[in-house]
Amino acid sequence: MIYILVSKTELSFSNIWRGHLNAVRQALDLNSSSYQQIDVLLARYKKFKPDDVIINIGNHQYLGSQLLNELAESISKVSRTIFFMDDYTAPPPTQLRKALTKSSNLLLTTIEEPMTQNSLRHFEIVCVDLNKASFKKLPFKPSIYLGSFIYWGIHRPSRVQFFHRYFKPEFYPVYISTSDRQHTKYCNLYINYRPLEKIRLPDELQKYGFTIYLEDKKAPRHCTSNRFYEAISAGLPIFFDHECIPQAETPSCIEQYVISDAEQLLNMNLREIQVDQRKLWGHRNYQRELVIELAKTFCKYGIL
């Protein structure tokens, strides 16, 4: 039996994990595979069989050591496990990695060569563009905050130089959506911006004027980030800093949207760019592409 291991808690606050779950279910449905979805809090009591397969979605870091140890003991007996890793800084919990030394394990990740590879030696790493799950094509809506810059996500120290490059000049209103704790870190940059609570992605992006694709300079080679798919879903014009061009699957025709300083944004026709980018990137069904890629991966590794 194939079991999809999830956390209701993580699914409630993470669009990313929900997207992965939906893609996995559709990939299994393509082959009429039998599977059951089970919550991690129940899975730690489950008596799995050696020929079972577990597809784990989520990091479950919030569970704490005791519950993770119980979960690790429970899943250590199965023949094969598949984990999803959506960020190079967040591998599966230590307890689970240690429990899977005798299993046949796959790690599906957007990272071609994870920096934590030594701790993942018991996994076969397969690079899949999981971020395509973030795509949700929305109809065009006029911007409420014309000409504004919206940035969403956590404060990463390795992006500070880019934050200063585009947040500080004050050529346009800057909005940042993140948690209260992360806002404290942004405030320490001494920039003038308008704080937002975490917004609903990608829907609420349509209120704003544009965004900029930024990456960690020392990040390993990886697929195009969720930010790209979320922006084009909403029809939010997206620009690319010249030092932060996506590496693994570079979207076509981005050259005309590459910038190197904030002043370049002042003369941009955002409405025209919105239309052009929808023509360039919005016509593809990225979610369907991911489902097919997952189905092929599952077949290749004997999961289906």
Which of 129-143, 174-188, 208-222, 265-279 shows the lowest per-residue confidence on average (mean pLDDT)?
A: 208-222
Q: Where in the chain are the domains?
A: 2-134+286-300, 149-281
Alpha-carbon dihedral 220, 151, 23, 96, rounded to 10 degrees: 50
Condensed to tens digits (0 to 9), the pLDDT of residues 64-99 reads 888 888 888 888 888 889 998 876 656 788 888 878
Distance (Å) of CA 228 to CA 122, 215, 240: 31, 11, 10
Distance (Å) of CA 251 to CA 42, 245, 257: 41, 9, 11
136-152 average pLDDT score: 93
pLDDT of residue 212: 97
Under 8 Å between Cβ of 265 and 167: no
pLDDT of residue 131: 92
d(CA 25, CA 70) in angstroms, rounded, equals 26
Question: Looking at beta carbons, which pairs linking 30-33 to residues 24 or more positions away fall under 8 Å?
Answer: 30/291, 30/292, 30/295, 31/295, 31/298, 31/299, 31/304, 33/2, 33/304
pTM, full prediction: 0.90
188-195 average pLDDT score: 92
Condensed to tens digits (0 to 9), the pLDDT of residues 27-59 reads 999 988 999 999 999 988 899 998 999 999 988
Q: Which residue has the higher pLDDT, 273 or 304?
A: 273
Alpha-helical runs (H) found in the chain: 8-13, 15-30, 40-43, 65-75, 94-99, 160-167, 180-187, 226-234, 270-281, 286-300
CB atoms within 10 A of CB 259: 17
pLDDT of residue 249: 58
Under 8 Å between Cβ of 204 and 231: no
Nearest to 84 by CA among 36, 18, 28, 30: 18
- 303 secondary structure, DSSP code: -
pLDDT of residue 117: 57
d(CA 95, CA 226) in angstroms, rounded, equals 28
Structure tokens, 240:
């690319």
Condensed to tens digits (0 to 9), the pLDDT of residues 234-285 reads 999 999 999 988 765 567 788 899 999 999 999 899 999 999 999 999 889 9
pLDDT of residue 116: 58
3-state SS, residue 61: helix
Q: Which residue has the higher pLDDT, 144 or 88?
A: 144
3-state SS, residue 127: strand
- What architecture does CATH give domain 2-134+286-300? 3-Layer(aba) Sandwich (3.40)
d(CA 191, CA 300) in angstroms, rounded, equals 50
Distance (Å) of CA 277 to CA 232, 233, 281: 7, 10, 6
d(CA 156, CA 215) in angstroms, rounded, equals 9
In the predicted structure, residue 183 carries a pLDDT above the cut 80? yes
Topology (CATH) of 149-281: Rossmann fold (3.40.50)
169-185 average pLDDT score: 94
212-222 average pLDDT score: 78
Is there a shared CATH topology between the 2-134+286-300 domain and the 149-281 domain?
A: yes
* Model confidence band, residue 114 (pLDDT cutoffs 50, 70, 90): low
* Model confidence band, residue 220 (pLDDT cutoffs 50, 70, 90): low
Query: Please, what is the average pLDDT of the chain?
Result: 89
pLDDT of residue 130: 93
